[in-house]
Amino acid sequence: MSKTYVAVDIGASSGRLMLGYSTEGKLQLKEVHRFKNGFAKKEGYDCWDIDHILQEIFTGLEKVKKLGFQDVVLGIDTCAVDYVLVGKDGQRLKDPVSYRDARTKDSIAKLTSDLSKDYIYEKTGIQFLDFNTLYQLFEEDKDLLAKTDKILMIPDYIGYVLTGKAVTEVTNASTTQMLSLREGLFDQHLLDKVNVTHDQFPKLVDPGTNLGAVSDQWYEKYDLPRKVNVITVATHDTASAVVGTPATGQRWAYLSSGTWSLIGTELNVPENGEKAFKHNYTNEWGAYGTYRFLKNIMGLWIIQNVKEELDDDYSFAELAELASHEEPFQQLIDVNDDRFQNPANMIQEIQAYCQETNQEIPQTPGEIAMAVYSNLSLYYANELAVLGDILGYKIDDLNIVGGGSNVALMNQLTATIAGVNVYAGPSEATAIGNIIVQMIAQGDILNVYLARRIIADSFPIKKYTPGQEPFAAKLTEYQDFLKKTKEKTV
């Protein structure tokens, strides 16, 4: 048996600690602890409860020890862009604000009024999302920024709390939209623009860097495994998910399907030309010198909210089952419309959208779920066509990983509309990718190519082929619809 690895994987709606090890050439994964995550209003802002997250990590580690594991390696990944400000005394200056907070709603326009979008995209290759760290820092309290000794991305902050060592890991740092593609450093102009300095960001490091042991102080408070060594993995959850995607062949794309749907491919050279700019594709840094050329789609966030608003009376599997009794494509919805980013009520927002666009209003849980699933599939198919157009070749295979890979209905619709083979699984690709980087760093696996073969051999992956379904014309109809609705809002 290999060493024992722990993936701390914190998503927007839940966090978990997963144990990983390999036996007889296969990777084994076991969930030891899962907890709810989310943001709540604090002093007027939607904030993450970082103390709660830390507490749950320690609880999870106590469970690891109770299971008999005394010597473990640990890596942390979370969703991107959010950060913690730390003062000279090493203490947090305030709770981190969530990227869903509305404070940056108009910040792209404000910031780019005298620093062009072309400059920013040419420098960073990162998509314009109003919640990127760049815009969040732009809106940050200037007095607090002046008192800030360290700006730490959330996983780096957790690593810092655990070990006392501060670094800036590059896969996540690239989502700040402040790293220069060419120089591999924070861009001076962009730093100046938001009143921060190079020194406030600890040293940039690659995934696989050893951070060190969990500090003694935590042993006084918690019953932790005797040895916990922290490795800086691909700390952006999407970067870990891509590492954990068992893709083979040449013309493949991935869809990391969780709270967000991240659709794209892995490149060795960034693509920040005109077409990529026009379609707002991003070049987030991946592990091992790669780039995650992708687009953010609103994703399961929509259905997560619907589920909650139905008082959690239905599980995700039940919602998908109810949906499967409904006709797909009864409505066309731009699921990436900003209005779905943090509405007061998601169901009402979907219904209002359908009413405003003179379409059938979904009423029952099944109708609402089908409206969401079928439109997500349409959006995926649309983006695969865009991706193929930018790259100059047609995508043959789509690897869907993450929780969304369990939704058979959506996998089949996507295969059919996009005309691609869909390979669904593993659903825990993020935790797997987190563990893979640790394993490579520890010499348990040689490299990521081998790792992806091991993943494919270790977890069930289901294939969906396009088939002969009568939906091919839907994509063109949807593309026309998107064009028209976008023209209206411009």
- The residues of the shown chain that bind ligand LRH, judged by CB under 6 A, are 11-12, 79-81, 99, 236-238, 258-260, 262, 296
442 has binding-site annotation: no
* Closest approach of ligand LRH to the CB of residue 46, in Å: 13
In 3-state terms, what secondary structure has residue 307? helix
Q: Quote the least distance from Cβ 177 to ligand LRH, whole Å.
A: 11
Q: Which is nearer to ligand LRH, 258 or 425 (CB)?
A: 258
* Catalytic one of 237, 334, 337, 457: 237
Q: What single-letter DSSP state applies at residue 190? A: H
CB closer to ligand LRH out of 243 and 445: 243
Nearer to ligand LRH, 256 or 331 (CB): 256
Which residues are paired to 400 by β-bridges? 255, 424
Hunting for tokens 């995209």 — which residue is that? 121
Give the contacts of 406 (CB within 8 A, at least 6 positions apart): 316, 317, 424, 427
12 or 167: CB nearest ligand LRH: 12
Q: Is 451 marked as a binding-site residue?
A: no
Q: What is the 3-state secondary structure (H, E, C) of 232-298?
A: ECCCEHHHHHHHCCCCCCCCEEEEEECCCEEEEEEECCCCCCHHHHHCCCEEEECHHHCEEEEEEEC
290: nearest Cα among 230, 209, 206: 206
Whether 216 is a known active-site residue: answer no
Q: What's the min distance (Å) between Cβ of 283 and ligand LRH?
A: 13
Q: Is the CA virtual torsion 30, 76, 243, 5 positive or negative?
A: negative
Task: Provide the minimum distance between the beta carbon of 73 and ligand LRH in the complex, in angstroms, as a whole number.
Answer: 23
Amino acid at 165: K
What's the closest the beta carbon of residue 237 comes to ligand LRH, in angstroms?
5
Determine whether the annotation assigns residue 236 to a binding site. yes
Find out whether 80 is annotated in a ligand binding site: yes
The DSSP annotation for 325-360 comes to TSPTTSS---TT-GGGSS-S-HHHHHHHHHHHTT-P
* CB-nearer residue toward ligand LRH: 159 or 328: 159
Looking only at the bridges linking them, the beta strands covering 252-257 and 397-401 are parallel
Residue 195, marked binder: no
Is position 33 annotated in a ligand binding site? no
Residue 284 or 326: which CB sits closer to ligand LRH? 284
Residue with tokens 């592990």: 287
DSSP code of residue 199: G
Quote the CA–CA distance of 183 and 54 in Å, as a whole number. Answer: 34
Nearest residue to the partner ligand LRH, using Cβ: 79
Residue 296 counted as an annotated binding residue: yes
List phi, psi (to 5°) of 480.
-65, -40
Residue 237 or 334 having the CB closest to ligand LRH: 237
Residue 395 parent element (H or E): none
Look at residue 402 and give its three-state secondary structure: coil
Closest approach of ligand LRH to the CB of residue 13, in Å: 10
What is the distance between the alpha carbons of residues 260 and 300, in angstroms, rounded to a whole number? Answer: 6
Compute the least distance from the CB of residue 18 to ligand LRH, in Å.
Answer: 16
Residues making up the binding site for ATP: 12-16, 259, 304, 403
Output the known binding site for substrate. 80, 236-238, 296
Residue positions in the annotated binding site? 12-16, 80, 236-238, 259, 296, 304, 403
Please identify every residue annotated as catalytic: 237
